[in-house]
Amino acid sequence: FFLNSNYVNMGRMHSKGKGISSSAIPYRRTPPSWMEVSIDDICDQITKLAKKGMHPSQIGVLLRDQHGIPQVKSITGNKILRILKKNGLAPEIPEDLYHLIKKAVNIRKHLEVFTADKGAKYRLILIESRIHRLARYYRKVKSL
């Protein structure tokens, strides 16, 4: 990233934010020297967790927090989703699209009870436009 004053960030889609803060992964792409887990063990854990119904991001968080596996890609050479695709366990719809749809469904349920909630109606429109934009992208790259 360029952090000088001439560089303009792309803004958020439905808010005023233009922030650039984010987490940074380590520069070194080799597995850490203290890692004692084999690649096959990690792949087995990933497939086991996917069979329980966990999403790829949940699997990554669980491996990091409970098993001390920092970056799956630096150890195995493949990302979690690619490992799941190789084993035929990838989710049918991408995770980000799934969570947006889930959010829209929850807002629709809320609106059935509270029909006069104008703010929720407006937010639903924004969320649905994000869903359509993401679906258009995934259709274009042939993953939907």
d(CA 9, CA 17): 10
pLDDT of residue 5: 53
pLDDT of residue 1: 46
pLDDT of residue 95: 94
pLDDT of residue 107: 97
Q: What is the distance, to the nearest Å, from the Cα of residue 73 to the centroid of all Cα atoms in its chain?
A: 15
What is the block-wise mean pLDDT of the chain (144 residues), using blocks of 10 residues? 57 82 85 89 95 95 93 92 94 94 98 96 96 94 80
Could you tell me the CA-to-CA distances from 144 to 32, 73, 89, 104 in Å, in that order? 36, 24, 16, 19
CA angle 46, 51, 52 (to 5 degrees): 100
pLDDT of residue 26: 85
